[in-house]
Copies of this chain bind each other. A is one copy, B any other.
Amino acid sequence: MSARQRVTVEDIARACGLSRATVSLVLRSSPLVHPATRQRVEAEMKRQGYVYNRAAANLRRRVSNSVALVINDLSNPFFAEFATGVDEALGGKDYVTLLGCSNESPQRQLQVLNSLMEHHPAAIILSPAENTDARDIDRVVGGTPLLVFNRMLDHDSDGADHDFLGLDNRGGAMQATAHLIERGHRDIAFFGGHANSSSCQERRQGYHDALKKAGLRARNEWLIESAPTRVDACARSETLFAGKTKPTAAVCYNDAVALGLMLGLAHHGLRPGIDFAVTGFDDIPEAAMSMPELTTLSTDPRARGRQAAQLVLQRVEQATPVSPANIVPVRLVERASSSAPA
């Protein structure tokens, strides 16, 4: 068992007849050490099964090689992909990922952040829970570099002292809406999402922009909220046709909602892509595998994860100034679900 003492630099030094300092230099592959000495030391480390204690090293050097990653909902493939990208990029730079899940609870999010802060991460990447208050976050994060992903925080002062990485929600929704208009639709709904979330507001804005540009307007009964999930979207799909004027197409908040809506349409005897046009947002893997395949906006969450990690490490290592608004463009991917005629 690990009852026997852990092997330390001291043990290696003694076995080789050297001082700890020399072994330490070997560990950090300093050019000051004679190659022969290095070899002896490395052989001895292997022999004794030495494993570096980076926490101790970090303590002395007053640095950190961890980054805290706090995710609102890991069971959502969009965020799971994002997390994968973050971990990949951090690992490539010899950083380690401290994971925390908030499960969309602001309280739990604060707990998680507090716990992770005790490990003094070099930086924090936060994909915030809904209704997260910027002031709470700033308080616990202190001076640690912070990058917020995807959603803006409530009550965030303009001169926010953190990085932000988000999608071009407005532009994306505008593309999707314009695409439906081009195909002849005039009665277009915006379906799903929580109207108080920043991403939903931005997407609705893009939808309105496109309508306005075409001389159209949205009826209130076509602005329908739902949880951003398949299940809830499916359950609420009938609401679309509750008003007097029935829409012929819907721009959906995201792919999960769009897939749920398509299912709901089928339950009502409407064939998505034939009787009713639908667009999504995110391009999750399922979008290309649904029936019909889903027209959507490609966001490449794994690449976003890598990008987030890069931004935040750049900030840590070069103390660059914050870039409060990195807005990533999104691209329309045209598939069968939007091919229904008006």
Contacts and interface: CB of A to CB of B under 8 A. Distances in A.
Nearest to A108: B91
Nearest to A288: B231
Contact of A96 (B56, B91, B115, B289): B115
Contacts of A234: 289
B285 A263 contact: no
Copies in the assembly, this chain: 2
B100 A116 contact: no
A112 interface: yes
Nearest to A3: B143
Contacts of A319: 1
A184 interface: no
A111 B98 contact: no
A51 interface: yes
A228 interface: no
A77 interface: yes
Interface string A91-106: 1001011111101000
A88 B87 CA distance: 19
Contacts of A94: 115
Nearest to A52: B118
B55 A59 contact: yes
Nearest to A120: B53
A126 to B, nearest CB: 15
Interface residues of A, number: 55
Contact of A289 (B81, B230, B302): B230
Contacts of A77: 75, 77, 80
A25 interface: no
A2 B56 CA distance: 21
B101 A88 contact: yes
Given A2-B144, A80-B75, A289-B259, A98 B101 contact: no
Given A51-B117, A55-B119, A99 B101 contact: no
Contacts of A302: 75
A238 interface: no
B289 A291 contact: no
A81 B77 CA distance: 10
Given A1-B319, A286-B286, 13 more contacts: A2-B143, A2-B144, A52-B118, A74-B83, A80-B80, A83-B99, A91-B101, A96-B115, A96-B116, A97-B98, A97-B99, A263-B289, A266-B291
17 contacts: A2-B143, A2-B144, A55-B55, A55-B119, A69-B99, A74-B74, A74-B80, A74-B83, A75-B285, A83-B99, A87-B99, A96-B115, A97-B99, A230-B285, A259-B289, A260-B289, A291-B291
